[in-house]
Amino acid sequence: MAKTEFKAESKRLLELMINSIYSQKEIFLRELMSNASDAIDKIYYRALTDDALTFDNDQYYIKVTPDKENRTLKISDTGIGMTKDEMEDNLGVIAKSGSLAFKNETELQVGHDIIGQFGVGFYSSFMVADQVTVISKALDSNEAYKWESEGTDGYTIEPYEKETVGTDIILKIKDNGEEENYDDFLEEQGLKTVIKKYSDFIRYPIKMDVTVQQPKEDEEDEYEEYQEEQTVNNMVPIWKKNKSELTDEDYENFYAEKRYGFDKPLKHIHINVDGSIRYDAILFIPESAPPDYYTADFEKGLELYSSGVLIMNKSADLLPDYFGFVKGMVDSEDLSLNISREMLQHDRQLKTIAKNIKNKIKSNLKTMLNNDRENYEKFYKAFGRQLKFGVYNDFGMNKDDLQDLLMFYSSTEKKLVTLDEYVSRMPEDQTYIYYASGDNYDKIDKLPQTELVADKGYEILYFTEEVDEFAIKMLMNYKEKEFKSVSSSDLDIENEDDNTEEEEKENKEVFAAMKEAIADKVTDVRASKRLKSHPVVLASDGEISIEMEKVLQSMPNNQGINADKVLEINVNHDVFKSLQDAYDNDKDKLKLYTNLLYNQALLIEGLPVEDPVEFTNDMCKVMV
């Protein structure tokens, strides 16, 4: 039969699986168990709304059958099954399509990373099997099909006989290699261990024929063996267990099992509430953001259960947007099983739960910040941006909840610091919280605008993300201290040797002539109070800073909002003497110098020079 080729990305993933050196090959079983359990969930949902279907617990289970002689492992479920089209769609293409595109070739070759970071799902079977056969009959269908593949060269699908609805997956387990032993996946004990480790909390029974010994009748010391079907998993959901019985590893396994993420969570929060509203919840703070996190595709939400039965995969109403990174589940006896999405939105109980959850997350993050700084910084690297958006969004409504969770890089501490730490260190004569914006820490370090503030010994917070200044503008102040950009025209710093005002008065005409030369570009040309060694800098008057202008300009529907730019000249720099000289003797030269300085200031700001050809020609004019 002709083989159908896998799509290119799937083929690459398969190659990785087949040649994988990944040590935890056993996770293939977890993936297959989860798929089987999801398939049964789907029938369960259908039964909720379809009167023709009843969900009888006894009929729904997963069965694991090893066959040592033939080196096969069969995993059967009584779930919803797949039609021929679904087999094509689901097994012929990698589910999380696009995930490979996020990785570069070297990372792919290592192999570890990709398996650790992305759900490899069904394909992980190829880590342990030479051949994978899927026989499935979908609910409402009279036909069954067999999908088969030996790896990268493609797969076949053909009609097949299967009486009952559900799916059988048959793996032809690889022969042992020099260093690798696959026999565990054919042994009762090995399989049991792996199932317990990863899939203990699967809600449906995972059954296996287990060899049991019992004393022979009438004959002491003699035993006979027989096979007995046993349920291998515990089925009591982890959230119903006593916290003291559970280890970090249990929570981590649950996180992986549920596919909340492919990282290791930084923290879990287990909540049991038995008050006027009863609920249990397990929440996780992930370590890293999923690739689509900061895109419109990302959907936040927690799994919602009603008395242990999943009623919604992603209940968005349970999490505020700014905590959208939190993964996990909530189970409440007080929610009705058949509640609709629309009704849930207005459900008073759900609102109360959401509020409690929000406060729990906040207090847990706060504790992590205070007691486990290293992990908090990891978290902040992944999701700090989200918190800052949280401060900015909804007209700053949530800023009080979030301001103490923010961190910024400090010029003096050379690490991330909180606003509270900054304010508590402020010298008495310092009125403002100073910040400087730029692309990265190194660039900001070198910004001329920081000279005076840094010289004064004041700490400066470095803003490197687009949202930073917008969030801070929304915050307005922290502990009554206002924020001030080092680029703002009035820095409010006393400087005894300041001679700028006199110089500016004395050289009024020079400044006026310079202003005239670039009148369409800046609102003013002034003597700078903030520069020490640099000749020139751009500052801004008013609410819109130059960094904000950059962000606003890059937006699709930008409305041409500009900062009021001021060109500041260091009157104590030799360049100023040249300007004075040019004013006295050669007005064209003054124009040339002014334009050059303006363009230099643009470059320092990371803004594009408006006319690069004119700029280089001007440079040449000074040289010859």
Q: Enter the tokens of residue 208.
A: 């296996």
CB under 6 A: which stretch of 114-122, 209-217, 341-349, 496-504 binds ligand ATP?
A: 114-122
Among 33, 39, 129, 353, binds ligand ATP (CB under 6 A): 39
- Sign for the CA dihedral angle at 369, 374, 376, 377 comes to positive
Distance CA(131)–CA(499), nearest Å, equals: 83
Among 36, 454, 491, 517, binds ligand ATP (CB under 6 A): 36
Distance CA(7)–CA(178), nearest Å, equals: 32
Nearer to ligand ATP, 79 or 390 (CB): 79
Nearer to ligand ATP, 96 or 360 (CB): 96
Among 16, 82, 132, 525, binds ligand ATP (CB under 6 A): 82
> Using alpha carbons only, how large is the chain's radius of gyration in Å?
33
Nearer to ligand ATP, 259 or 532 (CB): 259
Among 14, 22, 28, 119, binds ligand ATP (CB under 6 A): 119
CB under 6 A: which stretch of 30-38, 217-225, 388-396, 419-427 binds ligand ATP?
A: 30-38
Neighbours of 163 (CB within 10 A): 7
Among 77, 459, 547, 568, binds ligand ATP (CB under 6 A): 77
Query: Taking the complex as a whole, how short is the minimal distance between the CB of residue 412 and ligand ATP, in angstroms?
Result: 45
Closest CA to 383 of 489, 288, 500, 511: 288
Neighbours of 116 (CB within 10 A): 14
Nearer to ligand ATP, 87 or 461 (CB): 87
- Regarding beta strands 267-274 and 524-527, do their DSSP bridges make them parallel or antiparallel, or are they unpaired? unpaired
Closest residue (Cβ) to ligand ATP? 121
Nearer to ligand ATP, 147 or 462 (CB): 147
The strand pairing partners of 283, in sequence order, are: 269, 328
Alpha helix segments (H runs only) across 175-286: 188-199, 248-257
Neighbours of 18 (CB within 10 A): 16
Among 6, 27, 63, 121, binds ligand ATP (CB under 6 A): 121
Identify residue 577 by its one-letter amino acid code: K
Nearer to ligand ATP, 81 or 286 (CB): 81
Nearer to ligand ATP, 167 or 410 (CB): 167
Decide: helix, strand or coil at residue 566: strand
Residues annotated in a binding site: 31, 35, 77, 82, 90, 96-98, 117-122, 167, 341
Distance CA(367)–CA(481), nearest Å, equals: 24
Among 20, 35, 332, 528, binds ligand ATP (CB under 6 A): 35
Query: Taking the complex as a whole, how short is the minimal distance between the CB of residue 209 and ligand ATP, in angstroms?
Result: 20
- Regarding beta strands 72-77 and 62-67, do their DSSP bridges make them parallel or antiparallel, or are they unpaired? antiparallel
79 lies in the site for ligand ATP, by CB under 6 A = yes
Would you give the distance in Å from CA 135 to the centre of its chain?
36
Query: Taking the complex as a whole, how short is the minimal distance between the CB of residue 296 and ligand ATP, in angstroms?
Result: 21
- Per-residue contact string for residues 393-432; x = within reach of ligand ATP by CB under 6 A: ----------------------------------------
Q: For 340-349, which contacts have Cβ atoms below 8 Å and span 24 or more sequence positions?
A: 341/312, 344/304, 344/312, 344/315, 344/317, 345/317, 349/277
Total binding residues toward ligand ATP, as defined by CB under 6 A: 18
Neighbours of 444 (CB within 10 A): 22
Nearer to ligand ATP, 257 or 466 (CB): 257
- 239-298: which residues touch ligand ATP (CB under 6 A)? 259
Residues annotated in a binding site for ATP: 31, 35, 77, 82, 90, 96-98, 117-122, 167, 341
Contacts of 586 (CB under 8 A, 6+ apart): none
Given its phi and psi angles, is residue 479 left (phi above 0), alpha (psi -120 to 50 degrees) or beta?
left
95 lies in the site for ligand ATP, by CB under 6 A = yes
168 lies in the site for ligand ATP, by CB under 6 A = no
Residue for token pair 């089925």: 235
Alpha helix segments (H runs only) across 274-394: 341-345, 348-371, 373-392
In terms of Cβ atoms closer than 10 Å to its own Cβ (0-12, 13-18, 19+), residue 161 is exposed
Nearer to ligand ATP, 36 or 369 (CB): 36
31 lies in the site for ligand ATP, by CB under 6 A = yes
The strand pairing partners of 26, in sequence order, are: none
Nearer to ligand ATP, 10 or 595 (CB): 10
Among 74, 96, 112, 362, binds ligand ATP (CB under 6 A): 96
Interacting residues with ligand ATP (CB under 6 A): 31, 35-36, 39, 77, 79-82, 90-91, 95-96, 119, 121-122, 167, 259
